[in-house]
């Protein structure tokens, strides 16, 4: 397997001349390599709040960050859709306590959430129109503390509270620096969870719960789905492509051989139990991402394709991890970056989420495609409403060959196309969507679009295109 430098050099050498220039639409002299046609199968329903961001608990304890006074941040989040979910938890949740009238603290192993902090966060949620998943400290806290915090969170967030998590990455509690005795297994966890759940549910009638919030154990999710008995309303787990030190650009450009199996198992558990499932923490490489990979255009394309792939499997939502991580620095994979001086701006992966949001706008379904619509490096998806296609996304993650794609079989009316491009695959700046970047105010508006007459489109290597139908 080539190292990162060799791999990215090969991308640049093979694609520098044509990969990021505007493609030709409907070339008469060449036949499309792929043809998009709808299959005779049921569409996948996508919840309106599918899109999400994930935060360590310390972000809520930071004054002025997730705040109505931070207009730029609010614009960045709202740019990802009118509805969504902010998940607050992470490893820092294992070191967090609620002190309603205490002094707020945002340390990686010493975070204090106050009533004022909750009120700041609640106001921010109301401003952006999103909901939240909130985690209580199951690792080192007590039932009494969790009840007090859950009551305060429910009172403050109100209808903006989607669900409460009891613990973060509970399958790892008996490993490493354990919060439980070594050998801590699902049965031991389930017994404790039942005790905490019962106490919180008595204190806060009607509150919803998300569980088991595992780091990697699909088995725990499957077992939770089987014996939930009504005390879990949302199945949750985490996913990272690899660890930081083992991550490579190539891994983000090729399918993860284990991911499809994970998603298929989660989908089956959800269908059999009737409980929706959410990947409530996800990004490229754990440990804050790999600088020079996660924060490049490669990370942009990976983010876009991963969102679409999970939606295709019936996932109820995806929370892309962002901001300051459990180690105390801003992750390289963060869609929303922070200069440490109160200035927030769109990171490179943000553009993958922005392209998803643009394609998803006005839709509620992913429509199944016939075989032949893609390959290991060419990925195609079609969004729709009431079974009718309204947008399509084509992602060419190949490093050398442009993709020619026929969209005539979709039956979409004449449309416009927004390209997702960058000067090179390893660029950390210069990413454009619709010919422009997100403004300093956190807002985006397309500057250019190509017209499509219903024929074929060309998508250069290491780029993506969002095709939007013309309605009315």
- If you average pLDDT over residues 351-375, what whole number do you get? 95
Residue-wise pLDDT for 287-331, tens only, equals 999 999 999 999 999 999 999 999 999 999 999 999 999 999 999
Confidence at residue 453, expressed as pLDDT on a 0 to 100 scale: 74
What confidence tier does 16 reach under pLDDT thresholds 50, 70, 90? very low
Measured distance CA(360)–CA(354) in Å, rounded: 10
> DSSP readout, 272-328?
HHT--EEEEEEEEEETT--TTTTTSHHHHHHHHHHHHHHHHTT-SEEEEE-SB-TTS
Answer whether residue 232 shows pLDDT above 70. Answer: yes
Residue-wise pLDDT for 166-208, tens only, equals 999 999 999 877 899 999 999 999 999 999 999 999 999 999 9
Contact indicator for 162, 153 with CB cutoff of 8 Å: no
Q: How many CB atoms lie within 10 A of CB 372?
A: 12
- If you average pLDDT over residues 276-282, what whole number do you get? 98
Measured distance CA(223)–CA(227) in Å, rounded: 6
- If you average pLDDT over residues 62-87, what whole number do you get? 97
Residue-wise pLDDT for 80-104, tens only, equals 999 999 999 999 999 999 999 999 9
Confidence at residue 33, expressed as pLDDT on a 0 to 100 scale: 82
Measured distance CA(63)–CA(282) in Å, rounded: 25
Cα 356 to chain centroid distance, Å, stands at 10
Confidence at residue 109, expressed as pLDDT on a 0 to 100 scale: 95
Contact indicator for 468, 452 with CB cutoff of 8 Å: no
SS3 77: helix
Residue-wise pLDDT for 451-472, tens only, equals 887 678 999 999 999 999 986 4
Domains of the chain: 13-43+365-469 (2.60.40.1180), 47-360 (3.20.20.80)
Higher pLDDT, 31 or 393: 393
């Amino acid at each position: 397997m080539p190292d990162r430098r060799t791999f990215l050099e090969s991308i640049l050498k093979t694609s520098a001349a044509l990969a990021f220039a505007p493609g030709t639409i409907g070339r008469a002299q060449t036949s499309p390599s792929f043809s998009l046609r709808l299959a005779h199968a049921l569409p996948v329903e996508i919840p309106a709040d599918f899109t999400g961001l994930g935060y360590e608990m310390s972000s809520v304890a930071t004054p002025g960050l997730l705040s109505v006074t931070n207009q730029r941040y609010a614009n960045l989040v709202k740019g990802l859709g009118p509805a969504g979910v902010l998940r607050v938890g992470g490893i820092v949740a294992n070191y967090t306590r609620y002190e309603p009238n205490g002094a707020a603290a945002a340390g990686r192993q010493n975070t204090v959430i106050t009533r004022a902090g909750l009120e700041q966060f609640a106001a921010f949620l109301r401003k952006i129109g999103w909901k939240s998943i909130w985690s209580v400290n199951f690792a080192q806290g007590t039932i009494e503390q969790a009840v007090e915090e859950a009551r305060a969170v429910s009172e403050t967030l109100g209808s903006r509270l989607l669900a409460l998590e009891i613990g973060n990455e509970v399958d790892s509690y008996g490993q490493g620096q354990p919060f439980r005795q070594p050998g801590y297994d699902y049965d031991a966890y389930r017994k404790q969870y039942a005790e905490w759940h019962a106490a919180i549910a008595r204190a806060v009638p009607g509150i919803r719960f998300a569980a088991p919030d595992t780091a990697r154990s699909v088995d725990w999710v499957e077992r939770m789905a089987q014996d939930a008995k009504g005390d879990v309303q949302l199945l949750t787990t985490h996913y990272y492509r690899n660890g930081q030190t083992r991550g490579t650009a190539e891994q983000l450009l090729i399918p993860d051989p284990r991911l499809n199996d994970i998603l298929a198992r989660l989908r089956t558990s959800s269908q059999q139990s009737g409980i929706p499932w959410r990947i409530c923490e996800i990004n490229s490489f754990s440990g804050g991402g790999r600088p020079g990979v996660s924060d490049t255009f490669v990370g942009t394309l990976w983010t876009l394709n991963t969102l679409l792939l999970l939606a295709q499997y019936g996932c109820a939502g995806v929370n892309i991890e962002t901001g300051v991580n459990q180690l105390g620095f801003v992750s390289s994979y963060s869609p929303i970056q922070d200069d440490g001086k109160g200035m927030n701006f769109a990171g490179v992966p943000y553009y993958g989420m922005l392209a998803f949001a643009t394609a998803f706008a006005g839709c509620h379904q992913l429509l199944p495609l016939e075989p032949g619509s893609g390959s290991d490096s060419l990925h195609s998806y079609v969004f729709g409403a009431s079974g009718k296609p309204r947008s399509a996304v084509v992602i060419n993650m190949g490093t050398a060959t442009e993709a020619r794609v026929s969209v005539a079989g979709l039956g979409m009316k004449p449309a416009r196309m927004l390209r997702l491009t960058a000067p090179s695959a390893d660029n950390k700046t210069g990413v454009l969507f619709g010919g422009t970047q997100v403004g300093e105010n956190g807002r985006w508006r397309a500057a250019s679009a190509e017209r499509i007459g219903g024929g074929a489109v060309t998508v250069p290597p290491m780029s993506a295109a969002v095709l939007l139908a013309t309605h009315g």
